[in-house]
Structure 1
Amino acid sequence: MHYLNISFTHKNSTMQIREKLSHKDDDDKKKCLERLLSSTHISEAILISTCNRMEVLCNCSDIPGATEHIFNMLSNRSGISIEELEGRADVFDDSSAIHHLFSVAASLDSMVIGETQIVGQLKDAFRLSYDNQFCSKKLARAMKSAFKCAAKVRNSTDISSKPVSMASVAVAKLKSLVDDISGKKALVIGTGEMSEITAKHLVNAGADVYIMNRTKHKAEALALECKCKVINFEELASAVNDFEILFTATSSSEPIITDSIINARDFDRYWFDLALPRDINYNKGERIHLYVIDDLKIIVDENMSSREHASRVAHGIIGRGIVEFFEWLNTQDTEQIIKEIYQRANIAAKEESTRAIKNGYIPKEYEEEALKLCEQTLKRFLHNMTASMRNSSQDAQTELLSGAMSAIIKENN
């Protein structure tokens, strides 16, 4: 079995491409996972869909077959040609897939190096897949090791000492555009983690913050936590024309702010669309300064250079984590093979002791002793061989030995 990861991120795909590939709600993700597992090549799958990435992580028996199935499925869903998808995607398999997963979990592959949201997003993706039986032991091992490695990176470096997220970068951009946001009215639409971080940053900067969400009780809960006010979602059409500052990060599959509700105003408006697919679709020049995720790269690049040393240390931790993961994985595979060997040996001992008694070689009253003798003989014979297998589970002979023993077991089934 192999690990395979097909990745579309801010590094290789435009926002328009990522929008078409994104999966916003759990039902949509479950349907995608069902289609993934419809391939005979794929046994387990996890779907990671965030504002900056859409990735398929799977365990498969045939890498070319699984890859073809995934690209066909994504093309049919998004309307993007297979040729373009293949040209954009980063495809990782086996050790490179695990390296990529560990790097993502440690936030080294994020647009904002050191951001703290990605681990939670990965855990949510894993939980959705595992709870609905789209993945099992193979991917569970990889994900749990990735989370463990990410924790080591956070504890051993200062890469997240001053947590940075896309939301905090957006607020920083706002501060560079507006001399003083203290006392200014700001509207935050949505109640997810991105909206929560945005609201807290704005409150700390002294802004007069309002929360809006389709589900009002969620807006009230966030407003209570952040010490903000609530405005009804039904007032969206008027609010977009009244507020000077607006941040939106909803899970809507369609834009919620369009030309039809935007009116001219005699003041500048600063809008930040942190959603994917985007929440704002407008074409008017109404003194609106709109910033989307891909517009924030300048601040992101500055963040990357300031964390360069921590990133190098983190990559070292990841490298050691990958070695430990595959050593542990080899040990698990070896133990399973050894278990199967002893199970077959015990069956053979039972068959031979029964045959000896049936043919009169051993009296019936010695049946138990005969069985024990056969079992002990086989255990003594197998002891040195299985000990060698365990000892070699962390060197280059592992794959060769495991493959040979697996083949022998299959041939004798």
Structure 2
Amino acid sequence: MKLWKLMMAGVVALGLASAVVTAGPSTVTAQASDNITIDGKFSDWDNANLTTGNNEATFAMESNGKYVDVYVNMKYGQVPGYGDYIFTINNKTYHVWSGNIPSTVAKGDIKPITFSGGTYNTGDQYGTVAKGYITNDGTHSIAEFRVDLSMFGLTSSDNGEKVSMTNPNVGGTATTTVDDLSNKDVSADVTATSGVINGKAESSSKDTTTTDNNANNDNDNLNIKIDGKYEDWKNVTLTEGYGGYTAMVSDGDKVYVFAKMKYGQVPKVGYKFEFNGKQIWAWATDIPDTIVKNGEATEVNFYAGNTEQDYNANADYGKVGVGYVSSDSEGHSIIEFEIDTGKLKLSSMTGQTITMNNASIGNEKVTVAGGSTGPYVIAGIGVLIAGFGYWRLRKSGKLKRRQDQMSGK
């Protein structure tokens, strides 16, 4: 009987582990609104709660299912595109911008516009996140557009969260709440008499397990490959510093780092890692002095040591990783590299908290947890207990007798 209970305890432990792994977030449901239609006709904004910004510009924002609708009316100048519409939801920041707003629109004309979304100004990690229209009433440049919140990786668990939006070229802040991210009604389409733009986006390009606004990544490296191609970083949130942006993920054996500069070349030295408080510095002195041409990539070697100044290949840990330096289409210098933590003489990566920053990029740190095995350890113990109990019962002959009793023999 004791052995049978032991085996059952193992099965229960295994079941509890499965529950830990598969449990999902709770869902809050909110009522969707359909008062606004993005159709190039702006009269439905007449009763909206308008916010007055700089130079007497007015704007508003309304929830509409999984979307938020935005209205901008400029007293002077054109509706901004590159002005960076900054959305904040649940303490996370998303940047929305347009590269196809015309420099001028004739009176009465209605032009379709699209917006990209990213983790920084002009970033496009989230792809096309909004569509709408711009016009001119003879005095003012006016636009309306619909932002698909699901493109940011938001889910129904974010329903009810506050949404704030600002634009430095408009001024002020408009606010609303996440309405109902499960709403995919036909009424959410973006339409106009001059054509049809489907406002329904495809599934989000942003992985739902990525970081918060401090870029604290989970253990999954999100299929990052260090090869000089940077598309695989699009699902990882970047942390902004005064000189650029950084991100880091880990698979328990290596840490993977991405950096993009606002100005100038990525730094050769000064990459400071902390492993549960232990400081290790990394560098790649073969990083070119000038920005690498877009579409090309230069391989570099990373070395590491216990002090910041000892930048040589014979330092404490020698060569610990490789990386690639390139640039994007706008000329920003980019680097991605990996550090093999097995070469850093650490006792174990399990449970380690890893941070990294480079003072030339910013003081902000990115953080990951290295090698956490959590529920899988529990599951392993459950299998071991169950297996041991089964072996003892079978060896003693009690298992066969219990099976015979259950079958009525």
TM range (shorter): under 0.3
Answer 1 or 2: higher relative contact order, Cα 8 Å, separation at least 6. Answer: 2
Q: Relative to total residues, which structure has the larger helix share, 1 or 2?
A: 1
TM-score, normalised by the number of residues in structure 2: 0.24
TM-score, normalised by the number of residues in structure 1: 0.24
Q: Relative to total residues, which structure has the larger strand share, 1 or 2?
A: 2
